[in-house]
Structure 1
């Protein structure tokens, strides 16, 4: 028995190394690094590490040892937490939703600005600890009280739990602003990636509750606002750009939306789009809304496959405004507050931000747009990771801080 344990222990390093080599071989031919990306070698290495962890998680999931999301969350919990001694941190629960309030320890003679932050991670990654550094920096640099919502995630919770948790935590906070030292006239909703999507859905509900303090502004950092049209230019140009490749996007979102991954090809081909719905929503979803300067020469024409009723019935919830908020009615969008949209050139979701930008502007919503030419999806969270940071990381953070300080 001892010999078997020794053989097992001796074989583990070989197994882990073999998986990593396999990941590198699998990703090397397909990964793309546009010329605008800075430090491509560093990004490539980090991308391989993420894919390596996902591969290990899939192995554990197939062996029924641990669900993939649970494994990834366990790994991210091992990351060190960097604390700012000048920022007060209070962990609480609003009902079943864990939240974290961060604000400068220095007393303020007046009520502070409030920032409600929804973190990214596709309902799998991300946590209060992962985004602690970013939100702590926001609190100190903007002299604001930042509430970070730790919505519940996979594998136990699917859509619409993320949206419901963000909404319920936000409503509770808005009802008790002064007890948290927040000025009711200066509250900002802010979110990154799927957190930006949560901002776009939560604000729809808040506009219909006049008894609550009005949101002063919303900040959406490379959000996903459309789960219908995957033939936009950025979906073709950046489908293999780290960190968010098309395969990874579908793996995460299909898990979150409880859609079987076997429907991926039908979704990509547009076979889930009924003709009557496309006629109604084309004016908002078509690539014609994307400025021509974002179209590369090799972009294929927008051409949807034959309608697949079975695929439509399995995926029809993607047409809801909670999943594709760009489809919200004009009368709702026209009530939105001033907005900052951040997009990255090398991001598969770049055109989602551009669709949403035009959608808001057409309804008279004041929109500030910050586009990062050397940016990629997920770069924001790396801003304080020293050797793992990128120039675009700080650009995004500074743009958000500058915008919020002007409110």
Structure 2
């Protein structure tokens, strides 16, 4: 079924790139797609964008997000690299994060080849790709052998798998295109956790009390502004601790899987961020939690909230008649931010 859905997504309409040179490459075994403007640049070197697509680790592809990446490259006059990382059901942890990190390092080491300014490289990701962007940006902190990332653009990112009882998870658990049951199922499959532990993950009973005390300051719904706590939200997290569930699901607490949990020293060294959240999105509060973490450590954050937005709306961008106004709003906001760098 995932492969069939990807097949349909890939055939929903790909626009011709009259102003771009589009090249399919492989960095080792990792497929990537490079978008380069044809026109001469007004500066010696162009801005660079590394893009990680969404799809819950199951859907999404180079073709599916072609229109989005083409538009970003055209409108920002940037060289854009989209990474085609490995996904479920054929590949599990840590395939996605390691592919994105490896492809990013490969690109950063060869910026001159692609005519990219090493001082203006932006990491950009949507949904699970936003979480991958956060992970890659953190992993590259302190790398003196590579150009520094100039900014991180994270569009309704997945930054934690731990508190699945945040207000947005309860309010939007059945809103298309990302239901809470789909999230939990994919967490289990990607991290090789038996599906019988889904309820324990949902209720937070796999979290030891001492671990919750350590991370509560970052993960608690207390960090969510009051105006987002309506629509029937009921605080009920975490549930009674289950040690067997912890032994089965403790990998969820790894920073690679939940970049919100990285240490303060790393967070403080991150580049400025542009964060996008959607009101009708199960992951809205992930964005709000990551926003607070960054701001608490002095990282400059620009936040764009889409009141009529919903999860995965970006995947439909440029695919009329299926495209939504909120898709255009998100892309326009991202373009405006990147052009200011």
Using the TM superposition, give the Cα deviation of residue 297 of structure 1 relative to its aligned residue in structure 2, in angstroms. 5.4
Q: How does 1:130-141 map to 2 (within 5 A)?
A: 130-141=64-75
Deviations 1:315-336 (A, max 9, x none): 1111011111100000000000
**Equivalent pair of 1:122/1:256 in contact (CA under 8 Å):** no
Using the TM superposition, give the Cα deviation of residue 220 of structure 1 relative to its aligned residue in structure 2, in angstroms. 0.3
**Equivalent pair of 2:37/2:78 in contact (CA under 8 Å):** yes
Q: What are the ranges of 5 or more consecutive residues in structure 1 without an aligned counterpart?
A: 1-56, 58-68
Deviations 1:208-252 (A, max 9, x none): 312210110000000011111111100111001111111222233
Q: How does 1:208-287 map to 2 (within 5 A)?
A: 208-287=142-221
Is 1:92 the counterpart of 2:92 in the alignment?
A: no
Distance 1:101 1:403 in 2: 21
Could you tell me which of 288, 294, 313 is aligned with 1:360? 294
Distance 1:72 1:261 in 2: 22
Is 1:82 the counterpart of 2:15 in the alignment?
A: yes
Distance 2:58 2:128 in 1: 10
SS of structure 2 residue aligned to 1:387? coil
**Equivalent pair of 1:103/1:136 in contact (CA under 8 Å):** no
Deviations 1:3-55 (A, max 9, x none): xxxxxxxxxxxxxxxxxxxxxxxxxxxxxxxxxxxxxxxxxxxxxxxxxxxxx
**Equivalent pair of 2:12/2:319 in contact (CA under 8 Å):** no
Tell me which residue corresponds to 1:396.
Answer: 330
SS of structure 1 residue aligned to 2:298? coil
Distance 2:7 2:324 in 1: 25
**So what's the TM-score if we normalise by structure 1?**
0.82
Using the TM superposition, give the Cα deviation of residue 256 of structure 1 relative to its aligned residue in structure 2, in angstroms. 2.0
How many aligned residue pairs are there? 340
Tell me which residue corresponds to 2:281.
Answer: 347
Using the TM superposition, give the Cα deviation of residue 260 of structure 1 relative to its aligned residue in structure 2, in angstroms. 2.2
Q: Which has the higher contact order (CA 8 A, sep 6+)?
A: 2
Q: How does 1:41-60 map to 2 (within 5 A)?
A: 57=1
Is 1:387 the counterpart of 2:321 in the alignment?
A: yes
More displaced stretch, 300-309 vs 376-385: 300-309
Higher helix share: 1
Distance 1:325 1:354 in 2: 14
**So what's the TM-score if we normalise by structure 2?**
0.97
Distance 2:254 2:294 in 1: 18
**Equivalent pair of 1:119/1:148 in contact (CA under 8 Å):** yes
